[in-house]
């Protein structure tokens, strides 16, 4: 028996799986979660992202045996029944196309804003850079990150996507 204990979205799970199993497959196939998805399996795309102790990590290469922190998936992002501000901004900007990559985009943005609530455009580009989108929704995602930062600071975002102007002129 390989007893593995995972803490996911506030619940504790005990599972009998090979400890080297990547977290992704346990989340999806044993816990039935849909947020993290397989995109590459080699930590290059971000589709499988989860938050572990608040950091965005790639569950496709993380063995369950090392998944010892507090894990949050996209499903666990809302608090008290309210969507996370990032999720709200994503809907306001109508950011997704197919949406397959958006789990990684949303969670990476949440972690980015957690550590840097007021990023410049350059910091958004850099912070999000390793999360790929083949529908190429980058423009709207970046606008949604700005919108979230505004919302969290109590600022209005007047126009959809309007914040997408040069980082160099950024006065925030």
Partner 1 sequence: MNTRNEARRRPDANRVEDRVAKSVEQALGRWGGASRRDFLKASGLFVFGLTTVGAAAGRQGSEDASWPDPDFLQLDSWLVVHEDGRVTFYVGKTDGGQGVGTATQQMMCDELDVAFDQATVVMGRTDRTVDQGGSGGSDAIERDAMVGRRIAAEGRRVLLEMASERLDAPVEELAVRDGVVSLRRDPSRTVTYGELIGGRRFDVALTGANVNQTTGVASVKPVQDLKLVGQSIPRYDIPAKVDGSFEWAVDVRLPGMVHARNVRPPFAGATLTDVDESSVRDLPGFLRLVRKGNYLAVVCEREEQAIEAAERLVTTWDKPTAAPFPASDDLFDFMRSAEWAPPTDGRMAGETHGDPDGALANAATVVEAGYDVPFQGHTAIGPAHALADPSDGQLTIYTNDMKPYSHRTGIAEFLGMPPEKVRVIWMEGPQLYGRTAADDAGFEAAYLAREMGRPVRVQWMRHEETAWDTKGPAFAIDMRGGLDRDGNVVALDYRGRIANYAHVGYNQARTVLIAQLMGLRPERPSPGGARGPDDMYHVPNRREETSAVRLPLAFETPLRTGNLRDPNGPQTTFANESFVDELAVAAGADPVEFRLRLLRAATEDDEAFRRARSIAVVEAAAEAYGWDARPSPGPVGSGSVLTGRGIAYAYRQRTTVAVIADVEVNRDTGRVWVRRMVCAHDCGLVINPDGLENTVQGNLLHGISRTLYEEVRFDGEKVTSVDWRSHPTLTHRDSPEQIEVVVVNGDPNPDRPDLRPYGAGEPSHRPVPAAIANAIHDATGVRMRRLPLRPERVLEALAE
Q: Which of 67, 91, 82 has the alpha carbon at shortest distance from 160? A: 91
Which residues between 89 and 118 bind partner 1 (CB under 8 A)?
Answer: 90-92, 94-103, 106
Which residues between 57 and 86 bind partner 1 (CB under 8 A)?
Answer: 73-75, 77-78, 83
Q: Smallest distance, Å, CB 74 to partner 1?
A: 4
Using rule CB under 6 A, residue 69 touches ligand FES: no
Give the burial class of 17: count Cβ atoms within 10 A of its Cβ; 0-12 exposed, 13-18 middle, 19 or more buried.
middle
**C-alpha pair distances (Å), 9 with each of 70, 71, 75, 164:** 8, 6, 8, 33
Q: Which of 15, 17, 40, 152 binds ligand FES (CB under 6 A)?
A: 40
Q: Which of 15, 31, 132, 152 binds partner 1 (CB under 8 A)?
A: 132
Pick one of ligand FES, partner 1, none as the site partner of residue 48 (Cβ within 5 to 8 A by kind). Answer: ligand FES
Q: Which two tokens stand for residue 59?
A: 């569950």
Using rule CB under 6 A, residue 43 touches ligand FES: yes
Helix, strand or coil, per DSSP, at residue 152: helix
Using rule CB under 8 A, residue 129 touches partner 1: yes
How would DSSP label each residue in 49-116? EEEETTEEEETTS-BGGG--SEEE-GGG--BTTBPPHHHHHHHHTT--SS-TTHHHHHHHHHHHHHH-
Q: Which of 37, 85, 119, 146 binds partner 1 (CB under 8 A)?
A: 37
Which 8-state DSSP code applies to residue 145? Answer: H
Q: Smallest distance, Å, CB 69 to partner 1?
A: 19
Residue ranges binding partner 1 (CB under 8 A) = 18, 21-22, 25, 28-29, 32-35, 37-42, 44-45, 47, 73-75, 77-78, 83, 87-88, 90-92, 94-103, 106, 121, 124-126, 128-142, 160, 164-167
């Amino acid at each position: 028996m390989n007893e593995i204990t995972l803490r996911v979205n506030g619940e504790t799970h005990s599972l009998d799986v090979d400890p080297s199993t990547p977290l992704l497959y346990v989340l999806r196939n044993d816990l039935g979660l849909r947020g993290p998805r397989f995109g590459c399996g080699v930590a290059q795309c971000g589709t499988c992202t989860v938050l572990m102790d608040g950091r965005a990590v790639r569950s496709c290469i993380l063995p369950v045996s090392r998944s010892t922190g507090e894990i949050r998936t996209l499903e666990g992002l809302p608090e008290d029944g309210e969507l996370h501000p990032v999720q709200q901004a994503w809907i306001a900007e109508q950011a997704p196309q197919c949406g397959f990559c958006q789990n990684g985009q949303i969670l990476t943005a949440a972690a980015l804003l957690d550590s840097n609530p007021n990023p410049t455009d350059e910091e958004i580009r850099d912070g999000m850079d390793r999360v790929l989108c083949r529908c190429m929704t980058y423009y709207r995602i970046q606008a949604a990150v700005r919108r979230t930062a505004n919302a969290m600071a109590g600022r209005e975002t007047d126009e959809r996507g309007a914040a997408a102007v040069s980082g160099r002129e950024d006065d925030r």
